[in-house]
Amino acid sequence: MQMNGSSSVFATAPNIPADAIFALTAEYVADEFPDKVNLGQGAYRDETGQPWVTTSVARSREIITTQGLLHEYLPILGLPEFRHRAAELALGREIHAARQSQLATCQTLSGTGALHLAGQIIKSCQSSLPKVYIPEPTWSNHHLIFSTLGYQCHEFQYYDPSTRALDFSSYLFMLNSVDPGSIVILHACAHNPTGLDPTPQQWKEIGGIMKRRQLFPLFDAAYLGFNSGDFEQDAFALRYFIHDLEMESAVCLSFAKNMGLYGERVGCLVLATSTAVVARNSQSVLESIQRSEISNPPAFGARVAATILGDNDLRKLWFQDMKTMSSRIQSMRRLLYDYLVKHNTPGNWNHILEQSGMFGFLGLAPEIVVELKDKYHIYMAANSRISIAGLNAGNVEYVARSIATVLTREQNDSHR
């Protein structure tokens, strides 16, 4: 075959735009302005703006290194003790003990891999693909993962921009309107990007409708423990669906945020099924899919996580690490609000305090976001989602003052 464009096997390949958040990060890195601020990528930063290796992870690595770090293959389904402990952590010891025989688990390439694998096994078990309902707005990769697998993805209104709050009535309307058997993507906590979660009572209402209408809950659980600093609180919804409502569910776990294992890609898919036989069969399917896609998952991060989860002292230390991260983010959320008020920023900013988790959803127009980047070197997603973890004592007032300056100018211009 001739090596020229006209005869290339890949001649029809389109030029797909780069992922928006990763492109934004690259733009930030290239910016030489000394006081630039990165509020785009969702990764925890400490009070000096630097990555933080949690204390529990650092000690776990020491233990693993002391024991001797081998580089042998893991089983196809992943490290057995990690899978067991991850499922037990998500469900809680009592629920896990009662439901263990009905669980199928597989170590995955972080939360993205868990979502993909969940989509694959549902696809392999259905004669026709169910529709997938995804909140609007949501993490951008949800659409990409499921549409690539061939699913029809439909959005439902999750956020009301007029009130800057959860649009619960639209949520319930969707649940009561879609076809039975449809898949609904549920953010277990710390909704990305809005930071708005249903209350426990609202979760119960959502779950009741989903069970009655035979809708399948697929939990994206990327922030358990990281959101509030309390793992039990953050896991309420998935435990209620699986234990109280006895619903078949898929739980897609990630340890990127809550352990800071971003580059290690440590995740786990937990399927809560109806019977032990279904669980065994489902696990065999997961093993077959995993073999065909990645053969077996990476070992180091899984060993770090398993060591933490299997040692009572390290587990307590990890819970304290999550409180440390959660508390710092909460303090920055409050400080941002206080500075926005101090600088007489036009508008009401109470919604910042009503949100939770890593992200804040400012509600700024796209042109304002562009101006903040171009003039003030403040980088955030186009929809004005910011990573609260990117704020610190050295930049939070600068960010608030810049927002106030731009919005005040816009307000003055509109009154001329």
| Whole-number Å distance between alpha carbons of 389 and 256 | 14
Cα 61 to Cα 197: distance, rounded to the nearest angstrom: 34
Mark out the alpha helices in 33-157 (DSSP H runs). Answer: 55-67, 80-91, 93-99, 110-125, 141-148
In a domain, 60, yes or no: no
Is 318 within 8 Å of 56 (Cβ atoms)? yes
Taking the CA of residue 248 as centre, how many other CA atoms within 13 Å lie in the half-sphere pointing to its CB? 17
**Percent of the chain scoring above 90 in pLDDT:** 87
Q: What is the pLDDT of residue 411?
A: 77
Answer whether residue 144 is part of any domain: yes
Average pLDDT of the chain, as a whole number = 94
- Please, are residues 117 and 269 in contact by the beta-carbon 8 Å criterion? yes
112-145, pLDDT tens digit by residue?
A: 999 999 999 999 999 899 999 999 999 989 999 9
Same domain, 300 and 337: no
- Looking at the structure, tell me whether residues 102 and 223 fall in a common domain: yes
What pLDDT sits at residue 70?
81
CA dist 124 and 150 (Å) reads 12
Residue from 257, 318, 321, 373 carrying the catalytic annotation = 257
pLDDT at 4 over 60: no
Q: Which of 310, 334, 369 is the last residue of a domain?
A: 310
Is residue 2 scored above 90 in pLDDT? no
Return the percentage of the chain with pLDDT > 70, whole number.
98
Both 96 and 166 in one domain: the answer is yes
Give pLDDT, residue 6: 59
Sign of the Cα torsion 403, 354, 54, 267 reads: negative
Q: Is 186 found in the same domain as 162?
A: yes
Task: Give me the domain span that covers residue 219.
Answer: 73-310
Task: Work out the pLDDT band at 66, boundaries 50, 70, 90.
Answer: confident
Extract the tokens encoding 404.
């106030």
Same domain, 102 and 198: yes
In a domain, 377, yes or no: yes
Q: How far apart are the first and last CA of the chain?
A: 66
Q: Could you tell me which of 406, 376, 264, 284 has the C-alpha nearest to residue 39?
A: 376
What confidence category does residue 53 fall into, taking pLDDT thresholds of 50, 70 and 90?
Answer: very high
Provide the pLDDT for residue 413.
73
- Residue 167 bears catalytic tag: no
Spell out the residues 6+ positions from residue 372 whose beta carbon is closer than 8 angstroms to its own.
364, 378, 380, 402, 403, 406
Query: Which residues are bridge partners to 272 per DSSP?
Result: 103, 249
Q: Give the mean pLDDT of 379-394.
A: 94
pLDDT, residue 415, reads: 62
If asked whether residues 44 and 81 sit together in one domain, one would say no
Residues 25 and 81 reside in one and the same domain = no
pLDDT in tens, 20-50: 888 999 999 999 999 999 999 888 999 988 9
pLDDT at residue 335 tops 90: yes
Q: Is 52 a catalytic residue?
A: no
- CA torsion 15-155-271-44 (nearest 10°) is 70
Q: Are residues 89 and 201 in the same domain?
A: yes
Domain boundary among 310, 337, 370: 310
More confident residue, 82 or 11: 82
Give me the CATH number covering residue 177. Answer: 3.40.640.10
Question: Does residue 86 sit in the same domain as residue 195?
Answer: yes
**Residues 305 and 333 reside in one and the same domain:** no
Residue type for position 123: K
User: Do 275 and 202 reside in the same domain of the chain?
Assistant: yes
* Confidence at residue 247, expressed as pLDDT on a 0 to 100 scale: 97
Catalytic pick among 139, 203, 318, 349: 139
pLDDT tens digits for range 389-401: 999 999 999 999 9
Q: Please name which of 135, 123, 124, 83 lies closest in space to residue 104, comparing C-alpha atoms.
A: 83
Residue 46 within a domain: yes
395 within some domain: yes
Give residue 1's pLDDT band: very low, low, confident or very high (50, 70, 90). very low
End position of a domain, from candidates 280, 310, 340: 310
* Domains: count for the chain: 2
Higher-pLDDT residue of 247 and 4 is: 247
Q: Which amino acid is at 179?
A: D
In a domain, 63, yes or no: no
The active-site residue out of 167, 197, 220, 321 is 220
Interatomic CA distance for residues 399 and 87, integer angstroms: 40
Query: Which tokens go with 163?
Result: 């009130």
- Determine whether 318 is an active site residue: no
Instruction: Identify the CATH number of the domain in which residue 402 sits.
Output: 3.90.1150.10
Residues 270 and 404 in one domain: no
Does some domain include residue 57?
Answer: no
70-77: average pLDDT = 92
Residues 6 or more apart whose Cβ sits within 8 Å of residue 338: none
- The answer to the question of residue 24 being in a domain is yes
pLDDT per position as a tens digit, 283-294: 999 999 999 999
